Amino acid sequence: MSGVWRLFGVWPMPQQITQSTDRYLLSPQSFSFSYSKDSAAQSGCSVLDSAFKRYYSLIFPDAADGARKTEFSINTLVAAGAAALKAQSVWGALRGRVYSLIYSLHCIYYFVNKTEIQDFPRFEFRGLLLDTSRHYLPLNAILKTLDAMAYSKFNVFHWHIVDDPSFPYQSYSYPDLSSKGAFHPMTHIYTQSDVKRVISHARMRGIRVIPEFDTPGHTQSWGKGQPNLLTPCYKGDVPSGTFGPVNPILDSTYQFMSGLFKEMKSVFPDSYVHLGGDEVNFACWKSNPNVRAFMTKMGFGHDYTKLESYYIENIVNISSALNKTPIVWQDVFDYRERIPKDTVLEIWKGVPADYRTELAKITHAGYRVLLSAPWYINHISYGQDWRNSYTVQPQNFSGTDQQKALVIGGEVCMWGEYVDATNLHPRLWPRACAAAERLWSNEEMTSNVDQAFPRLEKFRCSLIRRGIQAEPLFVGYCKDEYRGV
Amino acid sequence: MSGVWRLFGVWPMPQQITQSTDRYLLSPQSFSFSYSKDSAAQSGCSVLDSAFKRYYSLIFPDAADGARKTEFSINTLVAAGAAALKAQSVWGALRGRVYSLIYSLHCIYYFVNKTEIQDFPRFEFRGLLLDTSRHYLPLNAILKTLDAMAYSKFNVFHWHIVDDPSFPYQSYSYPDLSSKGAFHPMTHIYTQSDVKRVISHARMRGIRVIPEFDTPGHTQSWGKGQPNLLTPCYKGDVPSGTFGPVNPILDSTYQFMSGLFKEMKSVFPDSYVHLGGDEVNFACWKSNPNVRAFMTKMGFGHDYTKLESYYIENIVNISSALNKTPIVWQDVFDYRERIPKDTVLEIWKGVPADYRTELAKITHAGYRVLLSAPWYINHISYGQDWRNSYTVQPQNFSGTDQQKALVIGGEVCMWGEYVDATNLHPRLWPRACAAAERLWSNEEMTSNVDQAFPRLEKFRCSLIRRGIQAEPLFVGYCKDEYRGV
């Protein structure tokens, strides 16, 4: 690899890149994208057509005031040349953008060095979780996040759309869920049209949208709009007035879930669905005499993990019947529910020693796995904490090559306890970029965090130029920052 | 104190407040501010005239679309009434605003409960420091910060305007300082007109602007535009090419400083000036043979604190000659420079045990003191770290009442290593509000941090409504947040 100095702004690092000092001048006036004659994709492919439009203005940020620019006869300086991009799919072509290689001098001339790139992602699943229940995130905050995700080659938006505090998803089958469970029934909701817009905005950027409807725990807000869904907790012999997890003993529960997931199938096209399954508190179930009677009837004894398994098994079956591949949090594996082998487990707990043990266990059992534990970037600390995210080694655990291959990727999680639209973007960017490179790039080529620093610093400046409110890594400045973002 | 439920949004807590359940309806159409006949201030007082205009739109945020509102004949409901505000000065009147008491129902009717307030600040000096050297802050970010400061009754903007990384202040006497020392000579600077705008914006909000030109350390950026100002460091017998603190042995240094401070006197009207004086590294001075010769000549031996004292003494004398009261960091006291008794010492080091010892020492020596050490809110951590700021007790140290009276206030410091316009506002607000209340309110009335929480949460929502990008304290929502800030 030569000419690393020109790679400053390239993030994540491509698998192979060769650069020479030959450089070409690009002219905003004559530059264009076109489809190769033998390409399966041709003009009319909306994903690429609109990407070309976006990429053009990223390459030539000042081309809007092009009229003045033509006063300089820069066309006369243009080197004859063209660039070719081969990709196996539209999505590959989408991510095969090269605009980070292009640099400008004096904001008038645009150059690119002669470069050859062979690239592919190390992991197929490079996700980012937003939590829209603990705080509502306005639609624009989500769309902007999708923009920034695409710049870092994230390809999955994990939408933790509902949880205990609020239920902002406006269901057409069960409208009371949001009208009674959202922070505000009119302003703090995602309408069907909002959801469509998110899915379409994501798709145009090569990002799949996986919604999470987490049950049986984390469902307090569901209870407001869906009577008899949650388990009534008891104090002694009488209901206490509070409610616990979803009530797993009623047929009506599964009828409701079936209806809701049928709606989800029609709304969210992705083949994955996240079913949650984390942090179920058994105290309320234990307090309820009807639940206890059910336990006896089913032969579960006093083992409430069996009741949870029973519930999750039913929900997994509902989603499988709808041809959705379930993702669940690691808790579901830890309780050893009988779940289909195509289920993906997501690891969220513990320090490296813990999640490495879990990686080994889950892959040993033959399940595919996603790693999130080291990427809970809602946790902040003073200074450059992106370095911790960067040095994560997702396949560094005891296991065979087959086991390692079951690690399909990971997710950056931005839980919402302390985050809303006021601080989302600067907390996400460029901190999330560290995981983005870890999930995309060759581990050896990106093993040195100090070498990554100036490249990430430059990349952060290009995020700023593209309107993403990415916070600084350290003392310094970006050329375009002085106006504020 | 009764009716605390209505005080939710009032921050900082007034010294005395009595509320009854009698409530009055306010009409945007008939509401007006007017001067009392026997008031010294009358219409034409620009500070109050423009405050009235601002306060009106804070009281009636939806009054802009008033045309529609008049369809409701709410005038017929208006209780006959008036409110009186007595203040000893224009600045008192400015801060005696009551709009936080006013609340709306259905965004149509505005109410205020019958309320009597007696109020005054516990400390006269309630400052906030911004660092515009480690990152440049665009003018708007500073003006917005002043707005938010006024809402929390801060009254001093400590402008740490220059430091090692950059010199953004555009001096008319020494234009090379910014043209060579700023991150960018045209975009990353504060022109004279920018500075005037900051001072005027601050003044209209009852905020004084105290610039800090920190010397002799923290001056790397000065050296770029002012030859021979910094000490050449030596490696053995030859200059190493690097530079250390300001060179204290040259007459030219003091001529330059004299010229610069004369300019500052004409630019910054405040009677205080911050002279810095912190963290002077002696290694470079020690390496320089000319400095060593000067030490011998002056009889300083090998005690470089004496050289620092000598320098600071000269600078203090320059500022005193210009009728400015100097503020310096605690280091100056720690080295026991001979400094005038009206100098204010600012404590920035250490844990409570350390800064309490320092408070006792400095006040015992008869100097006035500012406390900043516990309010370095550039340091962030996960969760509600405002609670730590809130429980600070500035006068809790061993000393006489006379000593305690020498604590004139404190400052929240937002150093710029990791902060620029992308994340400044959410890191400042509402976290800085904790110190604002500690510096304004009665300590006993505000001793319970859990009781403060819901009031601060509500106040944070009013900051959001006023356009300040204040981050959330915890799970929940604000009425107006759904559009994004």
Who among A188, A423, A482 is closest to B471 (CB)?
Answer: A423
Name the phi and psi angles at A366, rounded to 5.
90, 10
Rounded to a whole number, what is the distance in Å from the CA of B384 to chain A's nearest CA?
8
Judging contacts by C-beta atoms under 8 Å, the chain B residues touching residue A470 are 422
How many residues in chain B?
485
Determine the residue among A106, A107, A475 to mutate to test chain B binding: the one whose Cβ has the most chain B Cβ atoms within 10 Å: A475
The reported pLDDT for the residue numbered B81 is 59
Which residues of chain B are under the pLDDT cut of 70? 1-8, 62-82, 97-108, 337, 485
Both structure tokens of B427: 């890191």
Q: Give the pLDDT confidence score for residue B76 in this predicted structure.
A: 32
The alpha carbon of A356 is separated from its chain's Cα centroid by a whole number of angstroms, namely 22
Contact, B128 vs B158, CB < 8 A?
Answer: yes
Residues A475, B379: C-beta atoms closer than 8 Å = no
Name the closest residue on chain A to residue B378, using Cα atoms.
Answer: A382
What per-residue confidence (pLDDT) applies to A316?
94
Phi, psi of A126, rounded to the nearest 5 degrees: -125, 90
Could you tell me which residues are beta bridge partners of residue A215?
A276
- Cα–Cα distance for residue pair B269/A219, rounded to 1 Å: 59
CB contact under 8 A, B474 and A138: no
The whole-number pLDDT of residue B18 equals: 84
Q: What is the pLDDT along chain A (485 residues), one digit of tens a residue?
A: 334 445 567 899 999 888 888 888 888 887 888 888 888 888 889 998 898 888 888 888 766 544 333 333 333 333 445 677 888 888 888 887 666 666 665 556 777 778 888 899 999 999 999 999 999 999 999 999 999 999 999 999 999 999 999 999 999 999 999 999 999 999 999 999 999 999 999 999 999 999 999 999 999 999 999 999 999 999 999 999 999 999 999 999 999 999 999 999 999 999 999 999 999 999 999 999 999 999 999 999 999 999 999 999 999 999 999 999 999 999 999 987 678 999 999 999 999 999 999 999 999 999 999 999 999 999 999 999 999 999 999 999 999 999 999 999 999 999 999 999 999 999 999 999 999 999 999 999 999 999 999 999 999 999 999 999 999 999 999 988 887 76
Q: Which of A188, A383, A417 sits opposite B475 (nearest CB)?
A: A417
Nearest to B484 among A141, A188, A473 (CB): A141
* ipTM exceeds 0.90, yes or no: yes
CA dist., res. B473 & res. B457, Å (int): 7
- pLDDT score for A80: 43
CB nearest A423 (choices: B417, B426, B482): B426
Find all residues with CB under 8 Å of B83, minimum gap 6, and list them.
Answer: B98, B112
Tokens (6 digits) for B423:
């994340």
Tell me whether residues B381 and A378 touch, CB distance under 8 A: no
Contacts with A422 from chain B: Cβ below 8 Å: 425-426, 464, 469-472, 481, 485
- Closest residue on chain A to B478 (Cα): A183
Question: A183 phi and psi, to 5 degrees?
Answer: -60, -40
How far apart are alpha carbons A257 and A264 in whole angstroms? 10
Residue B277: per-residue pLDDT: 94
Give the Cα separation of A331 and A312 in Å (integer): 11
Neighbours of B9 (CB within 10 A): 21
Query: Which of the 8 DSSP states describes residue B162?
Result: -
* DSSP of A9-73: T--SPPSEEEEEEEEEEE-TTT------TT-S--TT-HHHHHHHHHHHHHH-TTGGGHHHHTTS-
Judging by beta carbons within 10 Å of its beta carbon (0-12, 13-18, 19+), is residue A158 exposed, middle or buried?
buried
Looking at residue A414, its pLDDT comes to 98
In this prediction, residue B111 carries a pLDDT of 78
Q: What residue has token string 């104090």?
A: A235
Contacts of A136 in chain B (CB under 8 A): 477, 481-482
Give the residue from chain A lying closest to B384, CA to CA: A418
Residue B374, classed as helix, strand or coil, is: helix
B399 within 8 A of B363, measured Cβ to Cβ: yes
Given B116, B124, B279, B443, the catalytic residue: B279
How close, in Å, is residue B121 to chain A by CA atoms?
Answer: 30
Q: How far is CA B239 from the centre of its chain?
A: 40
Whether the Cβ atoms of residue A304 and residue A285 lie closer than 8 Å to each other: yes
Contact A481 B136 (CB under 8 A): yes
Q: Which of B449, B458, B464, B438 is nearest to B153 (CA)?
A: B438
Alpha-carbon distance B40 to nearest alpha carbon in chain A (angstroms)? 41
Report residue B194 as tokens.
């920018």
How far apart (Å, rounded) are the C-alpha atoms in residues A37 and A55?
Answer: 21
| CA pair distance A303, A300, nearest whole angstrom | 6
Structural tokens at position A179 = 């009208």
Query: Which amino acid, residue B151?
Result: Y
A-chain residues near B377 (CB < 8 A): none
Query: Which pLDDT belongs to residue A421?
Result: 97
At A439 the three-state DSSP class reads helix
Q: Which residue of A has its CA nearest to B430?
A: A422
CA dist., res. B74 & res. B184, Å (int): 55
Say yes or no for a CB contact (<8 Å) between A183 and B419. Answer: no
CB neighbours of residue B100 within 10 Å: 20
Alpha carbon B144 to chain centroid, angstroms: 13
Q: From chain A, which residues contact B within 8 Å (Cβ)?
A: 134-136, 138, 140-141, 165-166, 183-184, 187-188, 378-383, 416-423, 425-427, 464, 469-477, 479, 481-485
Task: Find the length of chain A.
Answer: 485
Question: How big is the A-B interface in CB pairs under 8 Å?
Answer: 132
Catalytic residues of A: 279
The DSSP H or E segment spanning A192 is helix A192-204
Question: Got the DSSP string for B405-460?
Answer: HTEEEEEEEE-STT-STTTHHHHHTTHHHHHHHHHHS-TGGG--HHHHHHHHHHHH
- What's residue A71's pLDDT? 34
Nearest beta carbon to residue A426 from set B134, B426, B477: B426
Angstrom distance (rounded) from CA B268 to CA B270? 6
- Alpha carbon A480 to its chain's center: 28
Q: Is A306 exposed, middle or buried (0-12, 13-18, 19+ CB in 10 A)?
A: middle
CA–CA dist B337, B277 (Å, integer): 11
- Nearest C-alpha in A relative to B476: A135
Distance separating alpha carbons of residues B123 and B120, to the nearest angstrom: 9
- Which stretches of chain B sit within 8 Å of chain A by CB? 134-136, 138, 140-141, 165-166, 183-184, 187-188, 378-383, 416-423, 425-427, 464, 469-477, 479, 481-485
> Sign of dihedral through CA atoms A141, A146, A151, A152?
positive
Query: What pLDDT, in 10s, does the model give residues B260-308?
Result: 999 999 999 999 999 999 999 999 999 999 999 999 999 999 999 999 9
Cβ–Cβ below 8 Å for B482 and A425: no
Mutate which of B415, B423, B466 to disrupt the A interface (most A C-beta within 10 Å)?
Answer: B423
Q: Cα–Cα distance between B425 and A331 in angstroms, integer?
A: 38
Q: Percent helix, strand, coil in chain B (nearest 5)?
A: 40, 20, 40
| SS3 call for A157 | strand
| Cβ-defined contact of B472 to A419 (cutoff 8 Å) | yes
Residue linked to tokens 């460091």: B233
